[in-house]
Chain A
Amino acid sequence: MSEVSRSGPHKALLAFYALFTLAAGARALVQLVTQYDEAPVAYWLSLAAAVTYALGWYAIREASAGNTGFASVMLWIELAGVLTVGTLSLVRSEWFPDASVWSGYGIGYGFVPLALPVAGLLWLRREKRR
């Protein structure tokens, strides 16, 4: 437990991942429940983003305790998700009558969704060298 609670950059990453799990999850649930027909694909992708952030939070917490295996898979999945959804939202805009969390590579969230997996992977690389 003391390993998990040691300080470092992962504390800031965990705060971001917790906030984005909340933001993406609440947004996806509200939109899926109240306006499902407007843009179901975009809303399901928002829910997928929320699940990704929840798993990312867990992965980073595990990695900070020395178990980097899950994080080195999960953070790449997250990066691939942001890039795929971001690109689709631009080239297949008809699938996105309403925005998803990762639309435009997370432009609605100041591109933080694009920066997060990159920052996470950089942190993880340093963590593995420890």
Chain B
Amino acid sequence: MPSLSTQVTWIVVGYAALVAVLAVVTAVRHHERPSWLDQMVWMLELLLVVRALIGLGAFSGDGPDSMSTYVGYLVSSVCVLPIAMQSIREDRAVWSSVVVAVVAVAVGVIAVRLEMTA
């Protein structure tokens, strides 16, 4: 049985991949960015916050091998999505969905790196 943090990481990665795929599909079909995509992004953010809170547990005991690396991934994992959503707040055109796809993949990668450095 993998640890709780590993399980949540896989949920984050799977959900981030889903968000990325749906964002690309929306863009390819030349639709405006739908509000359900935004809601999915905030759901992903919630999962990342949960993962980060669990990640705080790594500070107990010996702590992570590289503390600064770990803290870097921990902080960026929760900051990237809100900043990206702010940058496309008033832009619902096709390319704004591509931004969602890019940052969804990015937080998926960050979540995996967070798991690896814990």
Contact = CB atoms under 8 A, between A and B. Distances in A.
Q: Do A and B bind each other?
A: yes
26 contacts: A5-B91, A7-B94, A7-B96, A8-B93, A9-B95, A9-B98, A10-B95, A11-B87, A11-B88, A11-B91, A11-B98, A12-B98, A15-B84, A15-B87, A15-B99, A15-B102, A15-B103, A16-B102, A18-B83, A19-B103, A22-B76, A26-B72, A30-B66, A30-B68, A30-B69, A34-B66
A16 B83 CA distance: 13
Contacts, number: 46
A114 interface: no
Interface residues of A, number: 17
B41 to A, nearest CB: 13
Contact of B68 (A10, A14, A15, A33): A33
Interface string B40-69: 000000000000000000000000001011
Q: Looking at chain B, what size class is its interface with the partner chain?
A: 20 to 34
Interface of B: 66, 68-69, 72, 76, 80, 83-84, 87-88, 90-91, 93-96, 98-99, 102-103, 106
A34 B95 contact: no
